[in-house]
Structure 1
Amino acid sequence: MKKINALLISIVMFLSCQDAKEKASENVTNSVIEKTLNQVGVASENIERANQNKAEIEITYDGQNLFSKDENFKTIMNTAGKQMMVFSIDSEDAKINISFSGLKDMLDVKPIIGKNKEGKLDPKDANGTVVTIVIAKENGFVYTLLEGEATITKLVQDEVSIEFSGKAGTFLDANKPENWKPIHGKIISKYPVMNFIQVKKEELFY
C-alpha cells in the first residue's frame, strides 16, 4: 500500500509540474503575441463576448429572402488603417463578405458610404469609397453586388448596422446588365469581433 501511495503522489507531482509548465508556456506565448500585436498596432474588441456575437440578416434578391431568420450568423470586422474595412459574416453554410475601401481618409467621413457603379472598384476611378459585397450559400448560390450603394448606419463597439441596395448577379453576369436583379439588405451585428490595425476605435465609432 505504501508503494502505491508513493507512486500516486509521484504521478500527481509530475502532472502538477507538467500543468505548471504548460501554463507558463501558454502565458509566455500569449505575452509574445500581445507584444507583437501592439508593435504592429493591432487591437481587438468583443473577443470575450463571443457567445453574444450574432447578426440579424434581412436580404432579398429579386424579391426573395435569401436566408431564414433562425440562421446563426456571426461577424468579424477587420479595419486596416483608414483605407479599408472588411466584414466577414458567417453561418455554418453561408458567408457574406462586405468590403469598404477608399482613399487615405475614407473613415473620417461619417456615415461611411460605399458605392459600386459599372464595376468601378478602384477608389480613384469611383472618386471616393467603393464597396464590394459577395453573398454565398453552400450548394445554393453566389451573388455579388454589381451596382449599388451600402451604408454603415451605425458603428459602435456593441453593434454595427449596414444597409445596402442595388442590383446583383453571379460573377458570370458581370458584363450582362440585363441579367442583374434587384437586391436589398439590412444587417445588424451584435457584439462583432473587431480587429483594428493601425487605427484607433475612437476614430471610427459613431
Structure 2
Amino acid sequence: MRRHDLVWLAPQAPWQVLTPGADARLRAWAEARLPFVVARRDPVTDGDQLRLGVPLPLAERRQRLSLRIERTHVQRTAPPPLLPEVAEALAAPWRDALPPLLADLPEPTPPPRVFGSFAWQSLTGLPYLHAGSDLDLLWQITEHTHAAALTERMRRWEREHGLRIDGELRFPGGRCVSWREYAGGAARLLVKSDDACWLSTRDALLTQPVAA
C-alpha cells in the first residue's frame, strides 16, 4: 500500500489513535464503511504498521484525524479514484473544464488519480468543496521529458480556464514531488515516498534508490 491509497477497516479494529479524543469519531467513520487514506509512515515510530488518516468534511472544520494499525486488519484497499470517475459528478466550472485537460495530455499519460477534497466528496457524498478548492491530482511519470510536457500542459490549462490544479508527480519507485515545484525549475526538489521525505536533484528522481 502506497501514500494516497484507500483502505477500509472494521469498526472494532484494534488501532492506536494518534489524534487525542478522536477514537469515537474514527469508529463511527469505519461503521459508515467510509475509507481511510494511507499516509506517509515514520519507520522509527510506526515500525511495520500503517499510518492512516481521515480528513473530516467542511461541517467538522476539515479536521484531520490519524491512527496507526497493523496491516493484517485492513479489509480492502483501492487506489485513489481516477479523474474521469470524479469529474462526472462535478458542477460548473470544473465539469466543463476537465474534458479538455484529459483530451490533450502528452503521451504516455494515463488518466490522473484524484486525492484531497474533490476525491473525498466523491467517495463519501459529504460536503468538502468550497469556492476556493483546488483539484489535487496524482500523475504517473516515466521520464523527465514526460514530466516537462505534462507540467507545461497543466500551466496552459490553468491560464485558459482560470482554475487551479495542485498535486504530485509520481516517479518510478514511488518518489513524489509537487508538480508546481518541479515546474518551477528548482535544482533540488522535496521528495515524498511512502516512508521518507528528502531533498533530491532532478536526475536522482529516476536513478537514485528510494530513501529508507
Greater helix content: 2
Mark the structure with the bigger radius of gyration. Answer: 1
Fold conserved between structures, TM > 0.5? no
Larger RCO (CA within 8 A; separation ≥ 6): 1
Bucket of the pairwise TM-score, normalised by the shorter protein: under 0.3
TM-score, with normalisation over the residues of structure 2?
Answer: 0.23
TM-score (normalised: structure 1)? 0.23
